[in-house]
Chain A
Amino acid sequence: MEEALNLDMIGAGLIIIGAGFGLGKIGSAAMEGIARQPEAAGKIQTAMIIIAALLEGVAFAALFAV
């Protein structure tokens, strides 16, 4: 074996785990919020998408650094 261990792939996996966890939390919180106050669904959805997009941006930036 020439390359003993490719740490890049582990890093990419860690990023995906982190991003997945974060997106899950955003989604669950938004769901809960909508269930509690269905009339605010539109506002919650917009905020959810913004935060998800910001998280996604960080995750992609990290993936490109890897």
Chain B
Amino acid sequence: MQKKNVAKFLLACLLMFVSFNSQAFSVKEPQEGGDAKVNTEEEISEYIDHHLADSHYVNFFSDGETGAHYGFSLPVILWDNGLKVFSSGKFHHGEDLAVIDGQHYRLYHSKIYKTDAEGTITYGENGFPANERPLDFSITKNVLYMLVVSLLMLLVFGGLAKQYKNRSVPKGSGRVLEPLVLYVRDEIAKPNIGKNYRKYTGFLLTVFFFIWILNLLGMTPLGVNVTGNIAVTMALALITFFIVQFSGNKDYWKHIFWMPGVPWPMKIVLAPIEVLGMFTKPFALMIRLFANMTAGHVIIMTLLGLIVVFQNWIAGPAFFGFTIFISIIELLVAFLQAYIFTLLSALYIGMAVEEHDHHHPADNEDIPVL
């Protein structure tokens, strides 16, 4: 039994190492000849931009020499005078126009534009394409990965919940997940929310595992960068915002609009600041997660790109080692950001539902005044 577990652990380590390596190989192979240097830098920067952006394809690997892409196309769903559904394979990675019901669509820098038969893109004054865009509800790479993670969480946690009907000790993956669930409940929800913590634990657990799993998937060579997309983090922050506002009690609103315990001219000054604070808190949640994950991806890919730029025996191993070091830090950051997002959400909810006992101030001396 013991030996089997050790073997499993070693296999996991090996897989992790391979995934680090294949991430390195997914950067384009260096070109022969010295004159390609400037070109290589541009290529790397383009590659990083492409990785950070959402896409209509899942692309695992591209062959730099033949230009072949290895991956699969995703469905495109457009609303443009009626629903239009077709495969993104019709675009041939932006090289071809998709003609649906006589309307030409062009994929240009991962965005879909309406064009004429030649596929002309006209540019506006600000340098961005001025072509009309259809409403795009496509299942893009990010949407796909979010759906996959949601389904995975539903299966794993649903199974875990079911286990408790028959036994008090979970088995299998539940043994890893139970302490984490308890950690979120006992260390994040309970101390920060207080009495009614049970009502919000479901949300906190969902958000914690959703962000954490997506962050960890971002460290695999699948090309996932979901939490590094500001729209995703905005949606998550908005959920927290609405939960906080809708669960806010009388005291919460009183502390925003008519702060007790300060002279009245101060109350007038404080009200706009507090109202602003209502919005800056979720805004900071959004920016923090997005910026941290984007920065992590950029650092790792830049370091890998530097190997290709320098192309010598000193820089290669040095940057390879540095990449592994940063990757390990990123594993920590992946957990830390999920933790911070959940903790701050719990803190904000706690501030909204906190009950102020005005008659016995001595009883809650240990509650910090926020």
Residues of chain A having any CB pair with chain B under 8 Å: 46, 49-50, 53-54, 56-58, 60-61, 63-64
Chain A residues within an 8 Å CB radius of B347: 50
Contacts between chains A and B (CB distance < 8 A), count: 32
Pair A63/B343 contact, Cβ less than 8 Å? no
Sample of 21 A–B contacts (CB below 8 Å): A46-B343, A49-B340, A49-B343, A50-B340, A50-B343, A50-B347, A53-B288, A53-B343, A53-B344, A54-B284, A57-B284, A57-B285, A57-B287, A57-B288, A60-B287, A60-B288, A60-B291, A60-B292, A61-B284, A61-B287, A64-B287
B280-300: CB near A (< 8 Å → 1, else 0) gives 000111011001100000000
Report A-chain residues with C-beta under 8 Å of the C-beta of B292. 56, 60
A58-B284, A61-B284 given; A53·B340 CB < 8 A? yes
A46 proximity list for chain B (CB < 8 A): 187, 343
A50 contact set on B, CB distance < 8 A: 340, 343-344, 347
Residue of B nearest to A59 (CB): B291
Instruction: Given contacts A53-B288, A53-B343, list 11 more A-B pairs with CB under 8 A.
Output: A46-B343, A49-B340, A50-B340, A54-B284, A56-B288, A56-B292, A57-B284, A57-B287, A60-B292, A64-B287, A64-B291
Task: Describe A's contact surface by its main secondary structure.
Answer: helix
Knowing A53-B340, A53-B344, say if A63 contacts B288 (CB, 8 Å).
no
Q: CB within 8 Å of A: which residues of B? A: 187, 283-285, 287-288, 291-292, 336, 339-340, 343-344, 347
* Closest beta carbon of chain A to B369's beta carbon, Å: 14
Complex Cα distance, B343 from A49, in Å, reads: 10
B284 lies within 8 A of A63 (CB):
no
Give the docked Cα–Cα distance between A46 and B343 (Å). 9
Chain B residues near A56 (CB-CB < 8 A): 288, 292
CB-defined contacts of A60 to chain B, threshold 8 Å: 287-288, 291-292
How many angstroms from the CA of A64 to the CA of B291 in the assembled complex? 9
Nearest chain B residue, comparing its CB with the CB of A63:
B291
A57→B233 CA distance, assembly (Å)? 13
Residues of A within 8 A of B288 (CB): 53, 56-57, 60
Shortest distance from the beta carbon of B124 to any chain A beta carbon, whole Å: 23
Q: Nearest A residue to B188 by beta-carbon distance?
A: A46
Question: With a CB–CB cut-off of 8 A, which chain B residues contact A54?
Answer: 284
**B284 CB contacts on chain A under 8 angstroms:** 54, 57-58, 61
Of A46, A49, A57, A58, the most chain B CB neighbours within 10 A belong to A57
Chain A residues whose C-beta falls within 8 Å of the C-beta of B291 in the assembled complex: 60, 63-64
Closest 5 CB pairs of A and B: A57-B284, A60-B291, A53-B340, A57-B288, A60-B287
- Report the separation of the CA atoms of residues A29 and B283 in the bound assembly, to the nearest whole angstrom: 28
- Bound form: Cα–Cα A64–B287 in Å: 9
| Cα separation A57 to B277 with both chains bound (whole Å) | 13
B4 to chain A, nearest CB (A): 35
Q: Shortest CB–CB separation between residue A59 and chain B, in angstroms? A: 9
Complex formed: what's the CA distance from A63 to B287 in Å?
A: 10
Cα-based distance from A56 to B283 in the complex (angstroms): 13
CB distance from A19 to the nearest CB of B (A): 12
B287 neighbours in A (Cβ, 8 Å) = 57, 60-61, 64
Which residue of chain A has its CB nearest to the CB of B284? A57
Q: B288: nearest residue on chain A (CB-CB)?
A: A57
Q: Please give me the residue from chain A that is nearest to B295 by CB atom.
A: A60
Q: Can you name the residue of chain B whose Cβ is closest to the Cβ of A62?
A: B287
Distance A57 CA – B288 CA, assembled complex (angstroms): 5
User: Roughly how many angstroms separate A63 CA and B362 CA in the complex, as a whole number?
Assistant: 43
Which of chain A's residues have a CB closer than 8 A to the CB of B340?
49-50, 53
Measured between alpha carbons, how far is A54 from B284 in the docked complex, in Å? Answer: 8
